[in-house]
A and B are shown apart, each in its own frame.
Chain A
Amino acid sequence: MGERSRLAEGLRIYRLIAGMWIRSLLTYRTSFVLTAFGNLLVTGLDFVAILLMFAQVDELGGWTLPEVAFLYGLAATAFGVADLVLGSMDVLGARIRDGSFDILLVRPGPVLAQVAADHFALRRLGRIIQGVLVLGWGLLTVDVDWSVPKALLLPVTLISGAAIFSALFVAGAAFQFVAQDAAEAQNAFTYGGNTLLQFPPTVFGRDLVRGATFVLPLAFVNWLPASYVLDRPLPLGLPDQVAFAPPLVSVACCAAAGLAWRAGLRSYRSTGS
């Protein structure tokens, strides 16, 4: 099977399984409505925390509230998309432990698609909605000297950011082949990374920003492109051109995550569990 038809088959299998999870959830309608509502409320409060901070200060690391909202919105939307699509991959460790992972391996269809769709949770839509709202508000209130490159960079950044976070989810899942109880460690990077990006890079120490740029390239999700859009100097004194690197970085991240996934699956199939 060619790479392209494999991708198509993966998406088809993903849709089938995600559909089953949605229908499973809808059998408990009240519970679904309540958790979806609770989710929206909790993610909503997340930004309220930042609003409260600005009630005390005018700037955070030199960034104004609309600028922080713009930054926050970019990260939250990108993360929300990855979280909706792949956020339940952390159940892989549990599946390996209880042996039900074997069932996925005797079915046709790419294993990655089956694991990605596992426990698909529609309630995570709340995170995207919240991210888009904050981003929209930030865009309306922020003072930007718009240009064509800046306008183009915006959608590109969102897609690349979602891809970078997706790669992080897949890499984290791959790590669970080695350590089946690593779900929490994975969450530290994914959810923790998201929280990190909600604040301007200027509030963090240089080493942390360096790590988030060169080791785990989260800075490409919003810090670098947002700095460029807002006519701010890029963190670490990086040249402006780097702000346009997110697509390349996201492709590299996805390739690395794909390799990690393959290595993880291969180690499972040669060691069993």
Chain B
Amino acid sequence: MTEGGFIEVDRVEKVFDVRRKTGFLRRERRQVRAVDSVSFTVARGEMVGYIGPNGAGKSTTVKMLTGILVPSGGRLRVAGIDPSRERTRLAHRIGVVFGQRTTLWWDLPLIDSYRLMHRMYRIPDARYRENLDRLVELLDLGALLDVPVRQLSLGQRMRGDIAAALLHDPEVLYLDEPTIGLDVISKAKVRGFLRELNAERGTTVLLTTHDLQDIEQLCSRVMVIDHGRIMYDGPLAGLHEVGESERTLVVDLERELPPIDAAPARVVRVEGPRQWLAFPAAESAAALVARVAAEYPLVDLSVREPDIEAVIAKMYADQAERVVS
């Protein structure tokens, strides 16, 4: 374990006892390993994306890091604190945003929720005013402070929630799906803010997401978890190499033509004048586009990034293969 890691996770496990009804009064007990010997370290000021399919163990990990759940095994420290043992002490040093649940008071003006945080966390008055002013400016909340939360749009509410989680100057911010359901402009605002927060304050950020663009625009490092295990830990670019993922070039030709011949790219689908070409994600799209444009009557084209779920599925299949052989 590296010394000085701000978040230290060492062979942490979480085993759930699942009881399933198999008949009247008869129950079957089964153990599910939601997190299986996971280890990683996050340095102060890092911004890390934590991704994986549903049920992979993402939120279980985050719940252990925030002290909500007690690990079944292993060692866990956040800012030197054991989260499950000193939940309350830790609460003063972390901020948590659950994308699909709000901490704001539905029927009251936004500012009332902030006043509650002020008193609940015992934030010194000057500090509170300073933080509130800065957050209101950066997250563009000025016009919303006196509006009851129930009247806010999803994007406005999300920005409101993020501000609520940061009033007490947490050193680490956990974000669970912070851009889920947001429109393009709201997503851009949230991402821009997180970048600034990280750069200005050095706040450590751990975010779980399904949106690959969140990771691309924010995180220098990504961790992939599946079936309770860390499958990958490194830069995003490396993920594509490891997963041997492919990007897709979609071309619209002037008329229906036989499949385009442009190896190493291969045609995976044809639909009238539209064709889909798959090519390795690490290759440049420019060379391929130039070739296709030179040899075929091109009307329009677009490049699609690989789907993160597909990359992970492929990684998992590869690993299973290696285990078998």
Contact = CB atoms under 8 A, between A and B. Distances in A.
Interface stretch (B21-29, B103-111, B195-203, B254-262): B103-111
Interface in B66-121: 66-70, 72, 84, 87-88, 91-92, 94, 96, 98, 101, 103, 105-108, 112, 116, 119-121
A141 interface: no
B120 A269 contact: no
Interface string A88-128: 00000000001110110111111000000000000000000
A20 interface: yes
A16 interface: yes
A23 B109 CA distance: 10
Contacts of B63: 102, 272
Given A20-B108, A106-B66, A27 B148 contact: yes
B91 A106 contact: yes
A103 B84 contact: no
A272 B120 contact: no
B13 to A, nearest CB: 12
Given A27-B107, A269-B84, A109 B120 contact: yes
Given A103-B101, A106-B94, A272 B108 contact: no
A106 B70 contact: no
B108 A27 contact: yes
Contacts of B96: 103, 106
Contacts of A102: 63, 68, 98, 101
A270 B94 contact: no
A107 B120 contact: yes
A108 B148 contact: no
B107 A24 contact: yes
Given A20-B108, A20-B116, A27-B108, A105 B66 contact: yes
B16 interface: yes
A205 B120 CA distance: 50
A13 interface: yes
A105 B116 CA distance: 16
Contact of B68 (A1, A17, A23, A105): A105
A55 B291 CA distance: 101
Given A100-B101, A106-B96, A109-B120, A20 B66 contact: no
Contacts of B70: 266, 269-270
B88 A109 contact: yes
Nearest to A105: B68
B120 A108 contact: yes
A272 B92 CA distance: 22
Contact of B105 (A24, A106, A266, A271): A24
Interface in B17-74: 17, 60, 63, 66-70, 72
Contacts of B94: 106
A28 interface: yes
A20 B67 CA distance: 25
Contacts of A16: 116, 119-120
Contacts of A24: 105-108
Nearest to B103: A103
B88 A271 contact: no
Among B14, B68, B84, B91, chain A packs the most CB atoms within 10 A around the CB of B68
A103 B116 CA distance: 14
A13 to B, nearest CB: 7
A105 B91 CA distance: 8
Closest 8 CB pairs of A and B: A108-B91, A24-B107, A106-B96, A105-B68, A27-B107, A269-B70, A270-B70, A108-B88
Interface of A: 1, 13, 16-17, 20, 23-24, 27-28, 98-100, 102-103, 105-110, 266, 269-272
26 contacts: A1-B88, A17-B116, A20-B105, A20-B112, A23-B108, A24-B105, A24-B107, A27-B107, A98-B101, A100-B101, A102-B68, A102-B98, A103-B103, A105-B87, A106-B67, A106-B94, A107-B91, A108-B120, A108-B121, A109-B88, A109-B120, A269-B84, A270-B69, A270-B70, A272-B60, A272-B69
Given A13-B120, A102-B63, A103-B103, 11 more contacts: A16-B116, A17-B116, A27-B107, A27-B148, A103-B101, A106-B66, A107-B120, A108-B88, A109-B88, A270-B72, A272-B14
